Amino acid sequence: MWRDDAYLLDMLIASRTARQFSEELTWEEFRHSSLYQRAIAKALENIG
Domain boundaries, the chain: 2-47
Q: From first to last of the 48 residues of the chain, give the pLDDT tens digit.
A: 678 899 999 999 999 999 999 999 999 999 999 999 999 999 999 888
Distance CA 24, CA 32 (A): 15
Distance CA 31, CA 21 (A): 14
Q: What is the pLDDT of residue 34?
A: 97
pTM of the model: 0.76
Q: What is the pLDDT of residue 29?
A: 96
